[in-house]
Amino acid sequence: MTQRLSPVPSHPLPDVAGDAAYAARALDWVGMDRIALPLRLPAAAGEPALQVPAEVDVAVDLRDPDARGIHMSRLYLRLQDAFAGEALTLAGLRRVLQDLVESQRGLSGAARLTLRYDHLLKRRALASDNAGWKRYPVELEATLADGHFRAVLAFSVEYSSTCPASAALSRQLNAARFAEDFAAARPLSAPAVTDWLASERGLAATPHAQRSRAEVRVELRPAFDELPLAELVDALEAGLGTPVQTAVKREDEQAFARLNAENLMFCEDAARRVAAVLAADERVARFEARVSHFESLHPHDAVARVSG
């Protein structure tokens, strides 16, 4: 427990923040970065609400060119309780920003918050009756300026990408080995072919695949109050088709291999899939996305960017 010190008696404490500025000039933003705060996140159906640690940047503008500084401690103290009582929503963010502006008593007309945290979502296994938690890094920037609210949500989704070119080359080698091994077989026996396909001889080559990431930044329409992170993640993972898994048994790994075969994609293909999902969502006003395939063939990454 921190020991509390008794206040110094009698004399009022000096406050130099109200002194005249050294050089008269308005400032775009003044505030604090990397404040530690707990956040309550909206829960999925049937799941308990989660509280996660967050890092918060807060700032207001300083419109009075003659004012030396803002009331910074008021920003900090109001933030301490801002997100404690309710789950994070866009409507709640707007109320917090308005309160921050009002805390400055005419010095400011705009406020900005940037929240960084990891959002946990529980994901079902593909085939077995198992589930596990997956982490999604999030950055949420919200601004209120002269009554106009703007929210930008940034997050990333990880998935697997199997190279279409490598898959075609592998199929060619598999076909060549089949022709070699069955050149003299007349007639072909279905059981013999099935046994061959299930043997090591039936796999002459495998295509290269790699963990990949889609980094998304969306400006949200102000008409919606709820934060659509889980819905956007679900839609993007469905659109990409091969999200990385949590709990995995053998049947889940086999199902994952099947999904990869059904969703062969270059980074260009993945970027177009991401763009199609975001463009179709009515909650998204604008978007930018960057997809990176962390190549197992090369020592460098394959990258595509798209916006809309």
> What digits encode the pLDDT tens for the residues 122-149?
999 999 999 999 999 999 999 999 999 9
Confidence band of 186 (pLDDT split at 50, 70, 90): confident
Q: Does residue 187 register a pLDDT over 90?
A: no
| Paired tokens of 210 | 């790699």
The residue extents of the domains of the chain are 24-163+208-307, 164-202
Angle at 138 between CA 133 and CA 140, to 5 degrees: 145
Topology (CATH) of 24-163+208-307: Urate Oxidase (3.10.270)
Contacts of 179 (CB under 8 A, 6+ apart): none
* pLDDT value of residue 112: 97
* pLDDT value of residue 87: 87
* pLDDT value of residue 222: 87
User: What is the SS3 assignment for 296?
Assistant: coil
Asked if 121 and 136 count as a contact pair (C-beta separation under 8 A), the reply is yes
* pLDDT value of residue 66: 87
Confidence band of 6 (pLDDT split at 50, 70, 90): low
Listed range (41-55, 236-250, 272-286) with the worst mean pLDDT: 41-55
Three-class SS of 29-86: EEEEEEEEEEEEECCCCCCCCEEEEEEEEEEEEECCCCECCCCHHHHHHHHHCCCCCC
Confidence band of 9 (pLDDT split at 50, 70, 90): low
Does this model's pTM top 0.85? My answer is: yes
Contacts of 272 (CB under 8 A, 6+ apart): 306
Asked if 128 and 85 count as a contact pair (C-beta separation under 8 A), the reply is no
| Sign of the Cα pseudo-torsion (112, 118, 123, 126, in order) | positive
* pLDDT value of residue 20: 64
Q: Which residues, listed in sequence order, are joined to residue 211 by a DSSP beta bridge?
A: 160
CA distance to 97, 145, 154, per residue, from 225 (Å)? 14, 18, 17
| Paired tokens of 87 | 């789950």
